Structure 1
Amino acid sequence: MGDKSVKQPVLALKDFLTGSPPGTLCSVRLTGVAAGISVQFKVPVLNLYCTDEACEDFTQFDPNVSERTVHVNPDADIFISYRCRHCRRSQKTYALRITEAESFTLNEIVEARILKYGELPEVNLALTSRISKLIGQDRDFFYKGVKAECSGLGIAAFTYYRRVVENQKDRIFDEIIKVCKRLGVTGDIVAELEKAKKETQFTKAVGLIKSELPDSLKIDNHNPLTLLHDALSDSIHNASDEDCLALAQSIRVVLSKLAENLNFALQQKAELMGAVNLLLNRKNKNSSPEKPANGSTKTD
């Protein structure tokens, strides 16, 4: 099938669907058989991010059909739709064109050439409520960065993410300060954060912070502000688009994880205080002296 002088990578269908941006034409490995102009293949379950408030996490998405049969002479244009197994509300649809197929019947494997027209929702790297809260009014820039990243546009994605961090510097610092105060963190960290917040540039602001952040906010034992600083400090003037794409992905991942850690730290604190208050109330209730009906305190 096609020119085989240059060996191209062959992707599993699930990896092609979840990892290839729209417009990608690729050799894809299907589980099924090809007979003449017909291709019969199994549609895989996918692990996608569900934006529904009941999930807001990666969940299993089930296809609307477990198997498809298509004719590929000359081409087959198809839609494959999915629904979140957990909330049963979030949906995902892919538009594909299958152009060629060659069967290896002994292993029930079909190698096909597939073009991804597009997908709805447009990107799988969802704007969760936690990251949305952290970046405030720059949600649109963040979303454009995600779209650029999914399209493989490294310089554009990096530029959008850098703009989000610079614009929302004060908001990011405020959220960290709020968590530090809520956790009762001692030392100079809060004062340093408040001083750093007055700097106009994010990279200069982070340079003023010498104390350690709470462990609950760290990412793999690293300060998330330092990680963002390192990514944003790299000059992209002479960098390749591939290098910029890697930096952009790092910025998005760190921002998203920081948003999760901030939320989780506050939740943990609230749960801890709730448990403590419950135990104290029970202790006080059990230690209170019984009062007889006339209102006087009962004594031995």
Structure 2
Amino acid sequence: MNKEFLEEYSLFRKFNLSVPQTMDRIPTPAINMVCRNCGNLQTFNMTNRYAEFQKYSNPSSADEKVRLIYLCQSCRQFTRQFDVYISPELDYVYKFGQYPEWEIKMDKNLESILGKHAKTFRKGLVCESQGYGIGAFSYYRRITEQIIDELLDSITDLVEEVNKVAYKIALEKTKQTRVTQDKIDLVKDLLPSILKPNGMNPLGVLHSELSEGLHAETDQACLENASHVKSILTFLINQIIQSKESAKGFTDSMKSLLEKKSKK
């Protein structure tokens, strides 16, 4: 199985994975999740076998449902259970059950920035946790539409000097359209490098996800798009806050240093 899948994926969201042909060869990775007994993040190890309900120890993995029980390695009492379906072609898995339920938690910075819109975002999280992709995408898309102007405005101070004038011109043009994708399209190529991890442009991806999501026909497709939109919004808001705080800290330090020198 896969650590990221177990820790982060909601119910019914497909995770592409090359699953071994027999259950005895499926990995049992340690995971890091919150233990409700310990009250913090702990390491969990799998305690049962994938083939526990089978006659043999190495039955076929294809088109099977398996149970994974994970035990906290600190208190040795609290457990987490995952019920997972393995595809017939052994190319993907998804959870059809989980206990305790998938945590509906909201990033603190995101909640603070969203303010009155946080309630809508939480509704998206609830839909995502239950595998309702169309509902989750609709809520996340609505949030994006509601905050896009503020988000693009807040990026202005981070834009490199060489692109600052062009960004401000593009920003003015965004005020002339109500279509979120059009707004993003106007400024995405002027995004500062500090907001482009490994050269990837989150606004470009956001533009693509919002456009594709409109035409997605299944809950599964919408669930993928919804998760991406949520991740991008969370990244952008956190990175903008951190960058501005870092810049302010540097400016304050320099001012303090210069003041000390001027007094000598």
The letter for the 2-side match of 1:224 is P
Aligned residue runs from structure 1 range 15-30, under 5 A = 18-19=7-8, 21=10
Distance 1:15 1:166, change over 3 A: closer
> Of 250, 259, 262, which residue of structure 2 is paired with 1:272?
250
Deviation at 1:275, TM superposition (A): 2.3
Q: Number of aligned residue pairs: give it.
A: 224
Q: After TM superposition, give the deviation of residue 258 of structure 1 in Å.
A: 0.4
Aligned match of 1:123 = 103
2:66 corresponds to = none
Describe the superposition over 1:135-160 as per-residue Cα deviations: whole angstroms up to 9, x where unpaired: 33221222222232233332222112
Structure 2 counterpart SS, 1:258: helix
Which residue of 225, 237, 248 corresponds with 2:203?
225
Q: 2:173 aligns with which of 182, 190, 195?
A: 195
Alignment of 1:201-220 (within 5 A): 201-209=179-187, 212-220=190-198
Structure index of larger Rg: 1
User: Would you tell me which structure has more helix in proportion to its own residues?
Assistant: 2
SS in 2 for 1:220: helix
Shift in CA distance, 61/260, structure 1 to aligned 2, threshold 3 Å: same
TM-score, with structure 1 as normaliser: 0.57
Alignment check: 8 A CA contact 2:47 2:70 kept: no
User: Conserved in 2, the CA contact under 8 Å of 1:94 and 1:118?
Assistant: yes
Matches within 5 A, 1:150-299: 150-177=129-156, 179-180=157-158, 186-209=164-187, 212-234=190-212, 236-237=214-215, 239-286=217-264
Q: Letter of the aligned partner of 2:100 in structure 1?
A: E
Structure 1 residues 209 and 20, CA gap change in structure 2 (3 angstroms): closer
CA spacing shift, 1:134–1:184, aligned 2, 3 Å: farther
- Tell me the amino acid that sits aligned with residue 150 of structure 2: R
Deviation, 1:166, is: 1.1
- 2:260 aligns to what SS in structure 1? helix
**C-alpha distance in structure 2 between counterparts of 1:142 and 1:206, whole Å:** 20
Shift of residue 184, structure 1, vs aligned partner:
10
Q: Which has the higher strand share?
A: 1
CA-based RMSD of the aligned residues comes to 4.5
Pair 154,275 (structure 1): closer, same or farther in 2 beyond 3 Å: same
Structure 1 Cα separation of the partners of residues 112 and 160 of structure 2: 18
Give 3-state SS (helix, strand or coil) of 1:208's partner.
helix
Q: Is the 8 A contact 1:145 1:160 kept in 2?
A: yes
Alpha-carbon spacing, 1:138–1:184, altered in 2? closer, same or farther (3 Å): farther
Structure 2: stretches of 5+ with no match in the other structure: 14-22, 53-68, 84-94
In the TM superposition, structure 1's runs of 4+ consecutive aligned residues that sit over 6 Å from their partners are 66-69, 78-83, 181-185
How far apart are the structure 2 equivalents of 1:162 and 1:196? 17
8 Å Cα contact 1:219-1:257 kept in structure 2? no
Question: Any stretches of 5+ residues in structure 1 without a counterpart?
Answer: 1-10, 30-43, 51-58, 73-77, 84-91, 98-113, 287-300
Separation of aligned partners in 2, 1:209 and 1:23: 35
Relative to the length of structure 2, the TM-score reads 0.63
CA distance in 2 between partners of 1:133 and 1:160 (Å): 18
Displacement of 1:198 = 4.2
Greater mean deviation of Cα atoms: 14-23 or 187-196: 14-23
Matches of 1:15 and 1:205, distance apart in 2: 33
Structure 1 pair 23–268 and aligned structure 2 pair: CA distance change class (3 A): closer
> Using a 3 Å threshold, how does the CA distance of structure 1 residues 239 and 49 change in structure 2: closer, same or farther?
farther
